[in-house]
Chain A
Amino acid sequence: MTDTDIKSHIMKKASLVLSGLVVLFLLTGCTSLKRYSSATYKAVDNTLVEMDLFGYQLIPSGIFPAGKNLWELSASAQTRLIQILDARYPDNTQFIHALNHEYLTEEAVPCYDYTRKKLRMVFTISKKRNYTVLKGNSLSGNFSPADRIEYLKFSLKIPDNYNLRFTEWNRYATEYGEIEIGDISFTRSLDLEAEASATGQVDLGGTGSLGRSEGQEIKSRYLKLNGSISKNTIEIEEEGTREIDLTGNVIVDVSVEFSAFPERITIPLFSLKARTGEDTSRVAALQFMDVLVPRMEEVPDTIRAILELDYIYRHVRSGWKTYQEWDDHVEYYTGSIRKEIPLFHREDYLPVFYCIGTDRGERRTVKIRSAPGQTYPLQFRSYSDASRFSDWLTDYSASAGTAGDEITIGKDTLVLDGIPLTRDRVARGYRLKVMPVYGD
C-alpha cells in the first residue's frame, strides 16, 4: 500500500467519523426529540394561573319508584285500562283526567334516599395572558405566547361540618378526552390511539442534502392523570406532555352522600266520588314511606368547599416564535392557590316536603297518631299531595257529620297541638294551609 493509499484511507475514515459527529450533533442539538433547549427554575409566582368552579349540577342518584300511570303500561294493559276508564267516565273531561292518574300498588311502597346525589363540577383553569409584555422580538415580562401550564394538582375538600362525603368517581373529562372511572382512585393516560411518525428534514447545503427521518414511533399522549378520592377530598393530578397546555375546562363527575336522618312521608291514596256532576277526591287510605334525608342541624344557604391548586408554569423566555419546543429556553415557575368556593346551594340538596298547619303565632303542624306514644309528622312528598289532602280536610270538616268527631283515616288520627283534630276545630278554629317542611 502506497502512502497515497494510506492517506486516502485515513481521509475516508476521518470523513466518516466527521459525518457521524455531524449527525450526532444534529440529533442532539436540533431535534424534535428534545423537550427544550435549556431549562431553569425561576421562582414562585401565584398569579400566573387561576382556577374556579365554573358550574355544577347536583342530581338525585336514586329514582323514585312512584306508582305507574297509563302510559307506562304494556300495549295490551293500556287498551284494557282505557276500556275500563271509558266505561267508568262517560264524560269526556273526566275521561281525559282519568288517563293521567297514577296507580300505586300495595306491594310497591316506594322507598327513597334523598342523601345520595351525583355531582357534576365544571372547573375552569386559565392562565394570565399579558400580551403587553411583548416588545417585537423580545419579552419584558414572564409571559410569551408559547407558555403553557405543564403540570397541575388540584384538590377539593369538603369541611366536616356538612356531613357530606365523596363516595365514587364517575367521570373525568378534559378538552383532550374523557375517562369513565367508577372507582375510588385512578391512574390513566389520555392517548391518541393511532401511531404517528415524526419526520425532520435537515439541509446540510454544499455538497448535497442529508435526509433524516427520525421515524419516531410515538404514541401521542396528551395527558397523564392520577386521581384519588377519600371521604372528604378528591385530588387530581394532571401532566401534559409536549405542547399540551392544561388551560381549559375540566369536568369532574362524582357521587356524594350526606349522612342520613330518617323521615316518614305520608302518601294519601285518593278515590273519586261522583257528586252532582263533578268529582270530589276522598282520602281512602294513607300509606307511609320511610325515607332518608340529609343530616344537618341547620340548613346552610350554600355548601362550600376548599379548592387547592398547585401548578408548574412553563414560560418560554426565547424560542417562542416556533411551534416546536426543542428550541425553547424555558423558565419554570411554580405556584399555588387556595380558596373557598361555593359548591352548591340549599335548593339543590334540601328535600322538598310539604306539611299542613298554621303559622298564626307559633308555627304548628298537623301530625298523625298511629297509636299511643306514636305520633309522626304529617308530611307529603309533593305540593299536589299536600294541597289535595288539605282540600279534602277542609271539605270533610264542612260536610255533614258530628262536629266533635275526631278525624281518622283507618287507624290513624290527625292531631294538632297534642289533641285530635275534630271537624269543628278545622272548620272554625284554624286556618290550615300547606307549608314547606324545611326552610321558609
Chain B
Amino acid sequence: MYFLVVKNLGVERCVDRNEEDVYLDGMSFDCRLDLDCPGKEFIREIEITCNELPGERIKARVFRD
C-alpha cells in the first residue's frame, strides 16, 4: 500500500492511500483528511494541490508500508 503524506505546521497528515503508486506532480487531493497510514518507507517527494486551494502547490511525500 502506498500513502501520500503532507506536513504542515509540524503535523503530518495522510491525505490518500492506494494499492499502487499512482502519485504524480500536480495531482489534487482533499488536504483536510487525516487517514490512518502506517507507511514507513519513504519513496519520493512530489508537489500536489489541495482541492480547497487549487492555485497553491504544496510538497507531499509518498510512503509505502
Could you list which residues of chain A lie within 8 angstroms of chain B, going by C-beta atoms? 259-264, 290, 292-299, 350, 367, 373-377, 415, 417-418, 437-439
Contacts and interface: CB of A to CB of B under 8 A. Distances in A.
Given A294-B9, A295-B58, A438-B10, A260 B53 contact: yes
B12 to A, nearest CB: 9
A295 B59 CA distance: 11
Contacts of B7: 297
Contact of B50 (A262, A375, A415, A438): A262
Interface size range on B against A: 10 to 19
B9 to A, nearest CB: 5
A296 B6 CA distance: 11
Interface string B27-63: 0000111111000000000000010110010110000
B34 A438 contact: no
A415 B36 CA distance: 10
Contact of A376 (B32, B56, B58): B32
Contacts of A415: 36
Given A261-B58, A262-B50, A290-B52, A367 B9 contact: no
Given A376-B34, A417-B36, A437 B58 contact: no
23 contacts: A259-B56, A260-B53, A261-B8, A261-B9, A261-B50, A261-B58, A262-B32, A263-B32, A295-B58, A297-B7, A298-B9, A298-B10, A299-B10, A373-B35, A374-B33, A375-B33, A375-B36, A376-B32, A376-B33, A377-B34, A418-B36, A438-B9, A438-B10
Given A438-B9, A439-B10, A260 B32 contact: no
A439 B50 CA distance: 23
Contacts of B32: 262-264, 290, 376
B8 A297 contact: yes
Interface string B3-36: 0000111110100000000000000000111111
Contacts of A259: 56
Given A260-B56, A262-B50, A295-B58, A375 B35 contact: yes
Contacts of A439: 10
A297 B31 contact: no
A295 B10 CA distance: 10
A263 B59 CA distance: 16
Given A375-B35, A376-B33, A262 B11 contact: no
A415 B35 CA distance: 10
Q: Give the most central of B9, B33, B35: most A CB within 10 Å.
A: B9
A80 to B, nearest CB: 39
Contacts of A437: 11
Nearest to A288: B32
Q: Give the most central of B13, B32, B50, B58: most A CB within 10 Å.
A: B32
A299 B59 CA distance: 16
A292 B32 CA distance: 10
B11 A438 contact: yes
B8 A295 contact: yes
